[in-house]
Amino acid sequence: MAMIETVNLTRKYGELTALDNLNLTIEQGSCFGFIGPNGAGKTTTIKILATLLKPTWGEARVDGKVVGYQNHLIRPIIGYVPDFMGAYEDMLVSEYLEFFAACYGIHGERRRTVVGEVLELTDLVHKATADVNGLSRGMQQRLSVARVLLHDPKVLLMDEPSSGLDPRARIEMRELLKELRRMGKTILISSHILSELAELCTEVGIVEQGKLVYAGSVAALMAKAGSGTVIHVVVDERHQEAAQLLARVKGIRKVALAREESIIRIDLTLDPDSGLPISEIPSRLIAQGFRVARLTQEQVSLETAFMKLTKGLVA
């Protein structure tokens, strides 16, 4: 079942097209990573889904409800976490959460129970009596997540939740998001920390210049971005001769020496008719008197896939 769906979603700011016919489907219970350069349209998409912006044309639906026409039905089932939380002077963490719980219509003993539960879930119990403005950036981001969990939403819309966090705070935020995923929440998260999205998300979408470049599983993205198998070979000596030998082998598309000239980088062809088994590479070298010290296969990362499929364009 699709929890989030956009159909030809377009948003213009005057002559600027921030979103250009975006078609996106996110299934219930999935964690979807939204990737793209600054200005690509990620925040605009999230704000439309959060009912904070209206589309110029096209349609966005959350749990089957249409943004712009059924906002009163959408807002109770979503939680929106912006990249920066607003300023709330002279408020304690517990007061901040109780204030928003009251806004969600949670009162009395139930409100105290709910506030206690989200404090425990986000590991903020020890900060309950701390001043909100005195919290670190990481603690404020956790508090922002705690705020949107008060009414137990089905969908979480998170815009750069790890932005500006130190390494420890990023790890803690990632573990919190994993727990929310285990709870069955549908999560749409934008981030520039692609290695975290690869570990956290079931699916990713790449948007560039307001257009969707790719949407699907991380594994399928790696396969799509892969331009063939890449092998790293280290020989004990005569590195240049070894590279020249391999360059003449059918099925090897390109051979290059690394700066230190001890690692030979080999691009194998994608053509199955002329493909070369990886085991043939050391065999060819050994037959010519070379001693192979190491052979490894290069892994395509989410960062590599992103760089190959995008050009750095913005709207």
Structural domains in the chain plus CATH codes: 2-224 (3.40.50.300), 227-299 (3.30.70.100)
Q: 10 Å Cβ neighbour count for 82?
A: 18
pLDDT value at 19 more than 90: yes
Query: Is 2 in a helix, a strand, or coil?
Result: strand
Strand partners of residue 254? 267
For residue 89, is pLDDT > 50? yes
Bridge partner residues of 27 (DSSP): 2
pLDDT in tens, 239-277: 888 888 888 887 777 788 876 667 887 777 654 455 567
Q: Please report the pLDDT score of residue 272 as a whole number.
A: 46
- The whole-angstrom separation of Cα 9 and Cα 19 is 7
pLDDT in the model for residue 290:
86
The per-residue pLDDT for range 33-43, each reduced to its tens digit, is: 998 888 889 99
Question: For all residues of the chain together, what is the average pLDDT?
Answer: 85
User: Using the 8-state DSSP alphabet, how is residue 230 labeled?
Assistant: E
pLDDT at 294 over 60: yes
* Cα distance from N-terminal residue to C-terminal residue, the chain: 31
Q: Report DSSP state, residue 132.
A: G
Distance CA(222)–CA(205), nearest Å, equals 13
- Specify the 3-state DSSP secondary structure of 246: helix
Render pLDDT for 215-225 as a digit per residue (tens, 0 to 9). Answer: 888 777 766 66
Choose among 51, 150, 135: nearest CA to 100. Answer: 150
The residue among 312 and 129 whose pLDDT is bigger is 129
Neighbours of 106 (CB within 10 A): 18
What is the token pair recorded at 110?
């139930």
The tokens for 190 are 């934008």
pTM: 0.77
What residue spans of 20-166 are helical by DSSP H? 42-49, 71-74, 93-103, 108-121, 137-149
Sheet with 186-190: list strands edge to edge. 78-81, 155-159, 186-190, 31-35, 203-208, 211-217
- How many Å apart are CA 191 and CA 42, to the nearest integer? 9
